[in-house]
Amino acid sequence: MRSGELIASDRGARPAQPDDLAQAWHVLGQVMDPEVPAVSVVDLGIVRGLAWQAGHLEVVVTPTYSGCPATEVIESDIRDALVQAGFHAPRLQRRLTPAWTTDWITERGRAQLREYGIAPPDGSTSKRTLLGEAPQVLCPQCGSAHTELLSQFGSTACKALYRCCDCREPFDYFKCI
Amino acid sequence: MSIEDDLTRYLLHLGDTALIQGQRLSQWVGHAPALEEELALANVGLDLFGQARNWLDYAAERLDDGRDADALAFLRTERELRNLLLVEQPNGDYAVTMLKQFFYDAWHCQVLQGLSGSRDERIAGIAAKGFKEVTYHLRRSSEWVERLGDGTDESHARMLAALPKVWRFTVELVNADAGEQRLAAAGLIGDPATLAAAWHAKVAEVFTRATLPLPEPASAFYLNGREGLHSEHLGLLLAEMQYLPRAYPDAVW
């Protein structure tokens, strides 16, 4: 918490209204991941909970990767969006446990990833996937299952680089963790 | 020394080891043999920096002497760092880099798995998150060791030349100190004997596939990373890594 925030936030404290949480979920549904701007932080599954605490909205966020450089940007985007929507001094809480998993990406999020040109994670984080058996990765451009791994890491830590052997397009694959 | 001090020292050991390994990996940026490799090394390093921050944040809170994680990373000297000797060794060629990474990953995976069952919930949470990331690192470095060892005559010869450069530092991976034994007995970290056995088994398995000869277990010598007794390479690494925060103490970006 930055110095001075506590004083400012107390001035804006107010009791919860019946539709506050629903409205906050709606606002967060518009906040996009800065590195995958097609998917909202809600559909990415990193907003773990909203609550009204001591007159303020409290948002619980779970980072995707320990070293994800977007974590701070995402938190400040969330804060800005809520403040703009009229939530005074929302409180953000970073929670590591339970660890984020790609299983938390919603169906809508998976569809949005595909449309954006990123293959969504294959199924769930079953033992099979974690232990390294090749996932079934479909080309987000043409839908072909005839794809090959180019590199275990892509443009960010959460992605790997693949190529479609049919349409020849390279594409990012959102890794399963 | 109390168990509380043991734990703080151990958190520094974990954080420093991840930090220095991450720094070594980032030295490949701009020099890696292929763009995909450069991305991969940088991303593995990024995961490690994130984990280092989680450990050093906790260590800083426990020390409670006014230093934060940045101060611990950038304002301690080599004598105060507690990282494993293995990770401070120079990158060398790709054989040395991948062999170091593999030995480290095989250790790291076991360490985090043990820690994810820690009685300390914060440690268990950080470890469970890191474990998922490091499983992926280990898969990658195992594949590279196999590919280089069982590759061409040139790559096999490079691996044989790399092995004696790094093997002796693995002694620290399979020998816990007295503090770690106490922490394990208190249920705060995993069992060191289990870790050592699993590390040896993993190395033996991958070396067989890589057609590399398995050396005799390394024996202890006069350096000791946990105690801050480092090789000369660490000071040079820190000179580069810490230059900016030391030259401009109030710099922010």
Per-residue pLDDT tens listing for chain A (177 residues) = 455 555 554 667 888 788 888 999 999 999 999 888 889 999 999 999 999 988 899 999 998 888 888 888 999 999 999 999 999 889 999 998 888 999 999 999 999 999 999 999 876 665 554 555 567 899 999 999 999 998 888 878 888 999 999 999 999 998 888
The identity of residue A125, as a single letter, is T
Measure the CA angle with vertex B45, ends B159 and A67; round to 5°.
Answer: 155
Instruction: List the 226-245 stretch of B: residues with Cβ below 8 A of A.
Output: none
- How confident is the model at residue B240, as a pLDDT? 96
From the CA of B222, how many Å to the nearest CA of chain A?
Answer: 34
Least trusted range by pLDDT, from A74-83, A131-140, B39-48, B104-113: A131-140
Q: What is the ipTM of this complex?
A: 0.77
Q: Is A141 exposed, middle or buried (0-12, 13-18, 19+ CB in 10 A)?
A: middle
**C-beta atoms of B135 and A130 within 8 A:** yes
**For chain A, what is the radius of gyration of the CA atoms?**
19
**C-beta atoms of A153 and B44 within 8 A:** yes
- How confident is the model at residue A13, as a pLDDT? 81
Mean pLDDT, residues B112-122: 97
- How confident is the model at residue B253, as a pLDDT? 72
**C-beta atoms of A150 and B125 within 8 A:** no
- Which of B36, B37, B54 is nearest residue A66 as measured by Cβ atoms? B54
> For B37, which residue in chain A has the nearest alpha carbon?
A151
- Which of A98, A157, A161 is nearest residue B46 as measured by Cβ atoms? A157
B57 touches chain A (CB under 8 A): no
**C-beta atoms of B125 and A96 within 8 A:** yes
**C-beta atoms of B50 and A65 within 8 A:** yes
- Which of A97, A99, A153 is nearest residue B132 as measured by Cβ atoms? A99
Q: What burial letters (b/e) apply to B171-190, b meaning 16+ CB within 10 Å?
A: bbbbebbebbebbbeeebbb
**C-beta atoms of B128 and A98 within 8 A:** yes
B202 touches chain A (CB under 8 A): no
- How confident is the model at residue B7, as a pLDDT? 98
The identity of residue B92, as a single letter, is G
- How confident is the model at residue B33, as a pLDDT? 87
- How confident is the model at residue A1, as a pLDDT? 46
B74 touches chain A (CB under 8 A): no
Give pLDDT tens digits for B61-90: 999 999 999 999 999 999 999 999 999 999
Bridge partners (DSSP) of residue A58 are A51, A91
Which residues, including other chains, have CB under 8 Å from residue A149's CB and lie 6 or more apart? A134, A137, A160, A161, A162
Distance CA A7, CA B194 (A): 51
**For chain B, what is the radius of gyration of the CA atoms?**
18
- How confident is the model at residue B16, as a pLDDT? 98
Nearest C-alpha neighbor of B150 from the set B92, B200, B208, B214: B208
From the CA of B224, how many Å to the nearest CA of chain A?
Answer: 28
- How confident is the model at residue B22, as a pLDDT? 98
Alpha helix positions (H), chain A: 5-11, 20-28, 71-84, 107-116, 127-130
Coil, strand or helix at B35 = helix
% of chain B with per-residue pLDDT over 70:
100
Q: What are the chain B neighbours of A151 within 8 Å (beta carbons)?
A: 36-37, 39-40
Give the Å distances, CA to CA, from A90 to A25, A31, A56, A96, A97.
13, 15, 6, 19, 21
Which of A131, A152, A171 to mutate: most B Cβ within 10 Å?
A: A152
Give pLDDT tens digits for B168-221: 999 999 999 999 999 999 999 999 999 999 999 999 999 999 999 999 999 999
Q: What is the DSSP string of B98-114?
A: HHHHHHHHHHHHHHHHH
Which of B35, B39, B49 to mutate: most A Cβ within 10 Å?
A: B39
From the CA of A105, how many Å to the nearest CA of chain B?
Answer: 17
Q: Is the pLDDT at B1 greater than 90, yes or no?
A: no
